Amino acid sequence: MELQVGGRTVRLSSPGKVFFPERGFTKLDLARYYAAVGPGILRALRDRPTTLERYPDGVGGEWFYQKRAPKGMPDWIPTAHITFPSGRSADEMCPTEEAAVVWAAQYGTLTFHPWPVRRTRVDHPDELRIDLDPQPGTDYADAVRAAHELRSVLEEFGGLRGWPKTSGGRGLHVFVPIEPSYTFTQVRRAAIAVGREMERRMPDRVTIKWWKEERGERIFLDYNQTARDRTIASAYSVRPRPHAPVSAPLRWEEADAAHPRDFDLATMPARFAELGDVHADMDDHAFSLDALLELARRDEHDHGLGDLPYPPEYPKMPGEPTRVQPSRARRDRTP
């Protein structure tokens, strides 16, 4: 069948294929969902190199991340040339129209993972993205408590403002629009500074410990989500879980009362029709990270707190500490 989206015709094959057996949602339901929230998800993806998380046979089938622009992609969808930490590079799709999102849904894309850059400045992020990830023994309510303190930290260091959203799981994401004048390394350094300040204020509730064995029952602020080629699911993305949840933009006053299961492929279109995109004004702002970078400098100068480990697939970075798991390091030192 064919769908009309923003003046484009998008062809949909096998529209009745069931993608979410638990709820009975089909490929057509997925495509219509993305058409319904089109202005919102396009705001989150516009001009951003975007990795596609594809499930051609639905959530019960095999899946993969598609980083390179798919073959046969329409010529009206532009691309950007991006470089990975390994030194390899690729051309990734950069949605500029709502129809591009529906086109990707035709190929089983559930979740969109945009880089925090625009295609005109691929080495300079324009968003600081904070991922509050509940560890075993914690839940969404714990993430909300951490997010409120995070809001205070952001305001205190540079008058920054964050826009919260559910992750689609148990966690919360907070996005801060920033001036595109910083490198990935600087943005990651700012995220580490935020995490350390959060640890000082909520030591029993928040951690930035990279090794899982050290985190305990706390919210993990995943600073490495700001490293090059690490991405976070976009607002309005459908997540690959049986009940078809979506990553839902929130207003701060909604965070306490909301629950991640409130927002799914069936309920979000009605919310969007009533409220529109509650993060629509994000692009009207661009904050400086200078105050956070100064905090990072003081942490290192006054307390000896330098860099933290990168993910294992990254090349060794200057000033990075060892990536050896603490318990293994202790075993290796034992005679």
For 287-306, write each residue's pLDDT tens digit: 999 999 999 999 999 999 99
Helix, strand or coil, per DSSP, at residue 182: coil
Q: Are residues 7 and 75 in the same domain?
A: yes
Tokens 């769908």, located at residue: 3
Cα radius of gyration (the chain): 20
* DSSP 8-state assignment for residue 119: T
Q: Are residues 65 and 211 in the same domain?
A: no
Here the tokens at position 18 are 């069931």
Other beta carbons within 10 Å of 75: 5
Q: Are residues 107 and 211 in the same domain?
A: no
Supply the range of the domain harboring residue 151.
127-227+285-303
What is the CATH classification number for the domain harbouring 23?
3.90.920.10
In a domain, 113, yes or no: yes
124-141 residue pLDDT tens: 999 999 999 999 999 999
Count the alpha carbons within 13 Å of 227 in the hemisphere toward its beta carbon. 19
How many angstroms separate the CA atoms of 35 and 15, rounded?
14
Catalogue the E-assigned strands of the chain: 2-5, 8-11, 18-20, 25-26, 50-54, 64-66, 79-83, 89-93, 109-114, 127-134, 163-166, 172-177, 206-207, 219-221
In a domain, 203, yes or no: yes
Q: Are residues 11 and 96 in the same domain?
A: yes
Other beta carbons within 10 Å of 8: 15
Q: Are residues 99 and 245 in the same domain?
A: yes
Q: Are residues 299 and 198 in the same domain?
A: yes
Other beta carbons within 10 Å of 77: 18
How many angstroms separate the CA atoms of 128 and 182, rounded?
10
In a domain, 334, yes or no: no
Q: Are residues 71 and 145 in the same domain?
A: no
What is the CATH classification number for the domain harbouring 291?
3.30.70.3300
In a domain, 182, yes or no: yes
In a domain, 325, yes or no: no
How many angstroms separate the CA atoms of 183 and 224, rounded?
14
In a domain, 313, yes or no: no
Q: Are residues 199 and 83 in the same domain?
A: no
Q: Are residues 158 and 214 in the same domain?
A: yes
Which pLDDT score is estimated for 333? 62
In a domain, 318, yes or no: no
- Domains of the chain: total: 2
Supply φ then ψ for residue 239, to 5 degrees.
Answer: -100, 150
For the chain, which ranges sit under pLDDT 70?
330-335
Cα 114 → chain centroid: 8
Q: Are residues 6 and 153 in the same domain?
A: no
272 close to 37: Cβ distance less than 8 angstroms: yes
Helix, strand or coil, per DSSP, at residue 321: coil
How many angstroms separate the CA atoms of 112 and 108, rounded?
11
Sign of torsion over alpha carbons 257, 261, 265, 267: negative
Q: Are residues 139 and 214 in the same domain?
A: yes
Phi-psi map region of 42: left, alpha, beta (phi>0 left; psi -120 to 50 alpha): alpha
In a domain, 210, yes or no: yes
Which pLDDT score is estimated for 334? 59
Q: Measured between alpha carbons, how far apart are the two ends of the chain, in Å?
A: 69
53 close to 109: Cβ distance less than 8 angstroms: yes
Q: Are residues 167 and 272 in the same domain?
A: no
